[in-house]
Amino acid sequence: MNFVAPDWPAPPAVRAVTTLRPGGVSQAPYDSLNLAGHVGDQPGLVAENRSRVRAALKLHQEPSWLEQVHGARTLDLDATGPMDRQADAAVTAQPGVICAVLTADCLPVLFATIDGRRVGAAHAGWRGLVAGVLEATIAALASPPHDILAWLGPAICQQHFEVGAEVRDAFIAADPAAAAAFAANDRGRWQADLYDLARQRLRRAGIEAVYGGDRCTFAEREACFSHRRDGRCGRMATLIWISR
């Protein structure tokens, strides 16, 4: 079982990883370390995969899995009482509580304050980016933007992410500068750069300390799940927590 660890200057107490495809028990087309329960995989195999991740990372509790809906709702995992899990981002200041997002081409974005006291994770596909999921997560961290670090985890790269004009138009309607993240192709459509679109939005929100953004889930067949490449497939998890 291999993990991608962010290369960023977060404090030692901040722990974070993205899981990769190998190391689990799920069968094709979810092979093998599928961590999502909503894609059609056998629940018992997903539970075993999650158990293996917990053991490998020595986690003291189960990650706080979300019901992702490609929106901007952000949960404060430290809130008390019953919690609606339909959200695409989560934050915490509680050591041991694990923020988690699931992806297979969409962009996972991690956040940490430079003092290591608050962390968060966001699931940012193009719909979530347009809806403002990054801005909502930053607001939920309740820290000055210049005190926040961001890391862009594995996602589909521009070469393989073809979209229609409606996607480009949605971004440009919010910010004309977003046009720079789209390249026309010979099919009359557009190649969208999720990483650039995320960086633009983070800069507009005041965050300059942005790291990562150099992987491609579509191209890395053995290492990564990719919905755009394979259709039915598993999901990787990107986790962040403050160690106890």
- Sign of the four-CA dihedral 35, 36, 39, 42: positive
In the chain, what is the greatest distance between 2 CA atoms, to the nearest angstrom?
53
Q: What is the pLDDT of residue 82?
A: 76
Q: How confident is the model over 169-198, as pLDDT tens digits?
A: 999 999 999 999 999 999 999 999 999 999
Q: How much is the pLDDT for 232?
A: 96
Q: What percent of the chain has pLDDT over 90?
A: 97
Paired tokens of 39: 């894609």
Domains and CATH numbers, the chain: 3-142+150-156+216-242 (3.60.140.10)
Query: What letters, b where the CB count within 10 A reaches 16 and e where it falls short, cover 118-137?
Result: bbbbbbbbbbbbbbbbbbbb
Over range 157-175, report the average pLDDT: 97
Is the pLDDT reported for residue 244 higher than 90? no
Main-chain dihedrals φ then ψ at residue 123, nearest 5 degrees:
-100, 115
**Average pLDDT of span 219-228:** 98
- DSSP symbol at 2: -
| pLDDT score, position 158 | 98
75 vs 92: CA distance, rounded Å = 9
Question: Cα(189)–Cα(140) distance, rounded to whole angstroms?
Answer: 35
For residue 147, name the pLDDT band (cuts at 50, 70, 90). very high
Q: How is the chain split among helix, strand and coil, in percent rounded to 5?
A: 25, 25, 50
Distinct helix (H) and strand (E) counts, the chain: 6, 13
Q: How many CB atoms lie within 10 A of CB 77?
A: 20
Query: What mean pLDDT do residues 141-150 have?
Result: 97
| pLDDT band of 83, cuts 50, 70, 90 | confident
What token pair was written down for 143?
């820290």
Average pLDDT, the chain: 97
CB 168 within 8 A of CB 179: yes
Per residue in 15-68, pLDDT (tens digit) is: 999 999 999 999 999 999 999 999 999 999 999 999 999 999 999 999 999 999
Whether 46 and 31 have beta carbons less than 8 Å apart is answered as: no
